[in-house]
Amino acid sequence: MDVPALGAAEEPLLVSNCLALADSQWLSRRASASGRGDVRRLAPLVRLNRGTKLRRTRWGAKAGRRAPAGQCGMYRVLGPRPEMLFLVEFQYESLDDEDKHLHCDWGRLTSVNLAGRCIKVLGELPLLPCVSHLDLSYNQLASLGSLYAFPNLRSLNLAFNNFVTLVNMRSLPALESLNLSWNNIRNLLVVLKSLNKHAAALRCLQVCHNPVEDVLVGAHGRHLAARYLPRLAALDGEPVHLDASRNTLETLPMACLQLCPGLQRVDLSRNYLRAFPLLSGRPMHHLVFLDLSCNQLSSLCGVEEMTVLRELYLANNHIGALQDLQPLRKLQRLCVLDLTGNAVSEDANFKKFVVFHLRSLECVNGQEVVDGDLVAARETFGGCLDRDALLTQYTWRDLTHLVELHLPGASLRQVDLPGTLLPNLEVLDLSHNGLCCLWGLQHLPRLAMLDLGHNQVRSLRGPERPGCSGDCDADDGEVFPSLHTLYLDHNGLTSLQSLGLGSATRLRTLFLQHNQLDSVADLGHGDLRGLVLDGNHLDGAALLEAGRAGLLLHVRDLHLDGNHVHGPRGLDFLARTGSLARLFVAKNKLAEPADLEPLRQVPRLRELCLLGNPVCLRPRHFAHVRELLPDLAVLDGHPLGHPLDPQRYLCTAAPASPSLQPLATSPFAVTPVLPVPPVPVG
């Protein structure tokens, strides 16, 4: 075409910012002439000067309607003429009628932007299989009924709309990014469930700036999002999934983790990690999934800080013993644990150990946890009194100030209490349990009274149990440094040799009644002040052996009721006691007055009980004892010198009638039997 000179003044100069509008008249004439074939055109491109003035014309706009500024238009140049820069050649192509529909091939669209179009409803749309990005933000949409037209959609922007829920959402299996911010979503859980059903491959989700009512804490929202959308990597711009698997990492840079404090899932499998790097600087308090399979881990120290962890995969590492699994005991929310390919998984007690200490476990090494596993775990590892058991009932501050602890009948079978855990504990009652040793209590610094009655104690150290934390295994320090009183009654003891009571140097009162002891020569302790041996199988020879060993030298209270003391040598051990003040030998076999002659060896004796011995049936039994022990204050539970003193009665009272005369050989005919007072502790 001919291009007129820009400087010609006889015709007004028109410029346009739209090539189609500038050629509109020529195109209309071309269409009416039914022209065919390709036509080449030239268009000059001009530059407006600083002082150039333009006036918009109505050419190309509807009559009576002014086109908005910034849109296509024709302008009359009023000021200085513009300067032409260069010419552009372009070409129009003619199409047949049957090919005109190809001019706009919807099937080839890859991206659609309909932002800010005031769209309220998505109507029927043609199938658009190539569209991967769709922007519907800044509209008035409340429903997604027509998204079936985008089966391969990967990115969807629905921000600034009116969505309340996504219950009518269609399946979008390829969707990876979804923006739902600035809507009216109130129930986030319902939205996550819909996305779990229709967009399970979602990796990036934005739901900020919604009036959510069911989830008020951001950490809870990340947890729910990671739970319902397992492939989700980021929520509201914050990462929740870190995948660094199949690399050559030996350590993980802490700067990487500090930028992602809300991580929910971390995959570090198939690397060369030797320790848990996640906790060397900043704990991951929101981590629920951790995969460290196929690394070089030999220790689990550090995993105990991940208290919300639900899935832990540690297959094909170097975890060797149950002792190495102790840090796992803190993970009380753990549901899935995989340690296949580790030496520890070959241990016969492996599954029992993890099932017992992790009560929420549902799957171990790919096997479901059933009721039988729980029963077997309790039988093997149940009844342990340790730090973790106490922390379920007390706080650290409570344990620090605890003075007395009573746990009778608690089905305990093991104790593992370090001295630093209960620094002020003075009284501990563990009676009526199933304990078999004293170990685990030996380092409590202020423990003064220990009751282990009605247990199965046989030794100081018991058999080592698999997986024990070992807090009390160290032999350093004094054993039972403050223990004063020890109850070991009703334990079925047959020997004292393995108890090692001599190591408790401050022990002063020992209760060993109702066992099966026939010797106390292995007592190993010569500083006792009170010794209770009722209901055993001791005779005079066994007691004499203990006396010769100096074990009874400082004893003040000695209880021997219900033993086998008999004969004139039965009480010879009394010559080996230098401090005895109270002696109880009731229900033995002392039959003759001569059997009591050794009582002369203990002139300081103040209380004596002989009830239940045949010698008590002898005439003038009380008088004979008074002759042997003139300073005796209490005999068979009766204070001597009392108005009901049996000695006074037998010396002065006369029977009224021979037929009503009480048996003179039995003091029980005139005096009621009073109970034996208990031995004072200490």
Q: What is the mean pLDDT of residues 627-639?
A: 91
| Token pair listed for 151 | 């089966």
| pLDDT, position 302 | 83
Q: How confident is the model at residue 153 (pLDDT cuts 50, 70, 90)?
A: very high
Q: Are 202 and 324 found together in one domain?
A: no
DSSP β-ladder status, 54-56 and 509-511: unpaired
Instruction: In whole angstroms, give the CA distance from residue 564 to residue 587.
Output: 9
Is residue 55 domain-resident? no
CA angle 49, 52, 53 (to 5 degrees): 160
Whether 232 has a pLDDT exceeding 50, the answer reads yes
179, 159 contact by CB (below 8 A)? yes
CATH number at residue 374: 3.80.10.10
Q: How many CB atoms lie within 10 A of CB 241?
A: 21
**Residue 280 and residue 172 share a domain:** no
Least confident of 113-117, 434-438, 497-501, 667-671: 667-671
What is the span of the domain harbouring residue 227?
Answer: 106-243
Q: Give the end of a domain, one of 198, 223, 243.
A: 243
Helix-strand-coil split of the chain, %, nearest 5: 25, 15, 60
What is the pLDDT, as a whole number, of residue 329? Answer: 86
Work out the average pLDDT over 346-361. Answer: 91
278, part of any domain: yes
The confidence band for 384, taking pLDDT boundaries of 50, 70 and 90, is: confident
Given a cut of 50, is residue 65 above it in pLDDT?
A: no
DSSP, residue by residue, 17-57? S-HHHHTHHHHHHHHHTT--S-EEEEEEEEE--TT--EEE-
Q: Is 596 exposed, middle or buried (0-12, 13-18, 19+ CB in 10 A)?
A: buried
Residues 166 and 225 placed together within one structural domain of the fold? yes
Backbone angles phi, psi at 482, to 5 degrees: -125, 10
List the structure tokens of 668.
């029980």
Mean pLDDT of 304-333: 90
**What is the DSSP annotation of 134-153?**
EE--SS-----TTGGG-TT-
- Tens digits of residue pLDDT in 71-81: 677 888 887 87
How far does CA 48 lie from the centroid of its chain?
A: 74
In a shared domain, residues 346 and 236: no
Q: Report pLDDT for 67.
A: 47
- Domain C-terminal end among 330, 363, 381: 381
Instruction: With cut-offs at 50, 70 and 90, classify the pLDDT of residue 562.
Output: very high
Average pLDDT over residues 229-246: 79
Residue 597 lies in a domain: yes
Q: Would 679 be classed as within a structural domain? A: no
The two structure tokens encoding residue 617 = 């049936």
The pLDDT, as a whole number, for residue 593 is 92
User: How confident is residue 241, by pLDDT bands cut at 50, 70 and 90?
Assistant: confident
Is 50 exceeded by the pLDDT of residue 281? no
Residue with tokens 């052996």, as numbered in its chain: 545
> For residue 477, what pLDDT is reported?
65
Greater pLDDT, 145 or 250: 250
Give yes or no for residue 359 having a pLDDT over 90: no
Question: Are 204 and 254 within one domain?
Answer: no
- The pLDDT, as a whole number, for residue 235 is 82
Confidence of residue 251 (pLDDT cuts 50, 70, 90): confident
Domain endpoint, select from 381, 408, 436: 381
Please say if the pLDDT value at position 249 is more than 70. yes
Whether residue 266 is found in the same domain as residue 302: yes
pLDDT digits (tens, 9 = 90+) for 501-546: 888 999 999 999 999 999 998 887 788 999 999 999 999 999 999 9
Residue 596 phi/psi, 5-degree rounding, is -95, 0
Rounded to 5°, angle at Cα 50 from 47 and 55: 80
Residue 397 lies in a domain: no
Rounded to whole angstroms, the Cα distance separating 68 from 71 reads 6
Element (H, E) at 627: helix 621-628
Q: How far is CA 354 from CA 289, 293, 360, 660, in A?
A: 18, 18, 10, 77
Specify whether 238 is located in the same domain as 250: no
Q: For 254-321, give the DSSP string.
A: HHHHHT-TT--EEE--SS---S-GGGTTS--TT--EEE--SS-----TTGGG-TT--EEE--SS---S
> Is the domain of 237 the same as that of 125?
yes
Helix (H) or strand (E) holding 372: helix 371-381
Percent of the chain at pLDDT exceeding 90:
39
What pLDDT score was predicted for residue 360?
92
Handedness of CA 303, 304, 309, 314 (dihedral sign): positive
d(CA 111, CA 131): 5
Q: How many angstroms separate the CA atoms of 550 and 553, rounded?
A: 5
pLDDT score of 105 = 61
**Between residues 585 and 283, which one has the greater pLDDT?**
585
How many domains are contained in the chain?
3
* Distance set, CA 289 to CA 202, 276, 309, 475 (Å): 17, 14, 6, 40
Judge if 602 and 541 occupy the same domain.
yes
* Residue 381 backbone phi and psi in degrees, to 5: -120, 5
- Mean pLDDT over the full length of the chain: 81
Question: Structure pTM?
Answer: 0.54
Residue 281 is assigned to a structural domain of this protein: yes
Average pLDDT over residues 663-680: 36
H/E stretch holding 192: helix 188-198
**Do 598 and 574 meet the contact criterion of CB atoms below 8 Å apart?**
yes
pLDDT 10s digits, 589-621: 999 999 999 999 998 899 999 999 999 998 888
Q: Are residues 195 and 277 in the same domain?
A: no
What percent of the chain shows pLDDT beyond 70?
A: 81
Residue environment code for 437-472, b if the CB has 16+ CB neighbours within 10 A, otherwise e: bbbbbbbbeebbbbbbbbbbbbbbebeeeebbeebb
Among 24-33, 105-114, 121-130, 180-189, the range scoring the smallest mean pLDDT is: 24-33
* 118 and 222, same domain (yes or no): yes
Are 347 and 254 within one domain? yes
Residue 449: which H helix or E strand, with range?
A: strand 449-451
Contact 172, 192 (CB under 8 A): no
In a domain, residue 652? The reply is no
Q: Kindly tell me if the per-residue pLDDT of 245 is higher than 80.
A: yes
Both tokens of residue 101?
A: 């529909």
State how far the Cα of 435 lies from the Cα of 441, in Å rounded to an integer. 12
Burial class of residue 248 in the structure, from the number of CB atoms within 10 Å of its CB (0-12 exposed, 13-18 middle, 19+ buried): exposed
Residue 664 belongs to a domain: no
Higher-pLDDT residue of 675 and 261 is: 261
Asked if the model's pLDDT at residue 649 lies above 70, the reply is no
The region of weakest confidence among 171-175, 276-280, 292-296, 660-664 is: 660-664
* List of residues 6+ apart from 271 with CB closer than 8 A: 244, 245, 246, 247, 248, 249, 250, 294, 295
Q: What phi and psi values does residue 51 have, to the nearest 5 degrees?
A: -95, 5
